Amino acid sequence: MKPTTLRALPVGFAFLVSNVFAQLTPGTGTGLTADANTVALFHFEDPAATALDSAGSNRNATVTNTTAGAGLFGSGRVFNGTGDRLEFGNVFNALSGSAGWTIEYFAQSADGVSAPYMQNGNSSAGWWYYPQGSNISYGIKLNTAGDSNWSVITSVASPAMDTAWHYYAMTWAQGGAVSIYRDGTFLGSSSTSGSWIGTNAYGVWLNYDSYWTTYGGAGVVDDIRFSNVARSAGEIQAAYTLATIPEPATYAILAGFGALGLALWRRSTAHL
């Protein structure tokens, strides 16, 4: 008898096993949750005119023109790229003075070219995270840079944009680096020095540059989490993994496929 390998299983079943846990599929998986380091969390399960902080800290977002639509874990927030935006007015102050922070969100690009982006253009402290094409542009302002100057403004190579759902994350650790992730994978980082202290002059925005008054890519966003700590690469990977794991009902379907696949494999190898 030949050794048992995944390749020996029926092709459809092998494909299912190797791919079901590696994709973000609407209606499956678990979204982001609040913990002791969560400053604000948005699930977007509330009416379209509101964006409530699910972490219970009352740091609700101000809504401009966006609509509700099908998200990754239920309802999501739809952006047209020309006049839709969210402002997280209380998030900046909650992060000011922290020794690190993390911004995470799930997004789907409407055109496969660019996705909605995160931007905070304050003069003395800010961030920039923009997935577009085969790059993610990112930047950070710290107090050592001086007003209106960026401590880091660069980009990192990323898998080419498409219209599938993806998980984006950016972390910063004081005295360390600003790091960029997509789908749980570390893409690159830049060393930084200085503190995250400033005044919220230009606001914290999703899909809007308050300095240049321009908008970002069209698409859908679901589950945004702001944290006052630089989450580890392991935590980022774990968040992505949980988002790809099927719900219990899906496990039953997989078990059925597994039983069928095993029976077919046994039959096909019985006479080897």
Q: State the average pLDDT over residues 77-96.
A: 90
Length of the chain, in residues: 272
- Would you say residue 271 has pLDDT above 60? no
Q: pLDDT band for 167, please (50, 70, 90 cuts).
A: very high
Which one, of 28, 56, 30, 24, lies nearest residue 42 by Cα? 56
**What pLDDT was estimated at residue 149?**
84
For the ranges 104-108, 168-172, 267-271, the lowest mean pLDDT is seen at: 267-271
pTM: 0.83
- Would you say residue 166 has pLDDT above 80? yes
**What pLDDT was estimated at residue 272?**
53
Q: State the average pLDDT over residues 169-173.
A: 98
**What pLDDT was estimated at residue 136?**
98
Q: State the average pLDDT over residues 86-90.
A: 87
In angstroms, the CA 111 to CA 13 distance is 31
For residues 29 and 198, the model is more confident at 29
Q: State the average pLDDT over residues 150-176.
A: 96
Q: State the average pLDDT over residues 104-125.
A: 91
Q: pLDDT band for 120, please (50, 70, 90 cuts).
A: confident
In angstroms, the CA 269 to CA 122 distance is 65
Q: Hey, what are 118's tokens?
A: 């995160």
Q: How would you class 79 by CB atoms within 10 Å of its CB: exposed for 0-12, middle for 13-18, buried for 19 or more?
A: buried
In angstroms, the CA 256 to CA 272 distance is 25
Q: State the average pLDDT over residues 179-206.
A: 89
Grouping H, G, I as helix, E, B as strand and the rest as coil, residue 137 is: strand
Q: How many CB atoms lie within 10 A of CB 272?
A: 7
Q: State the average pLDDT over residues 148-152.
A: 85
- Would you say residue 244 has pLDDT above 70? yes
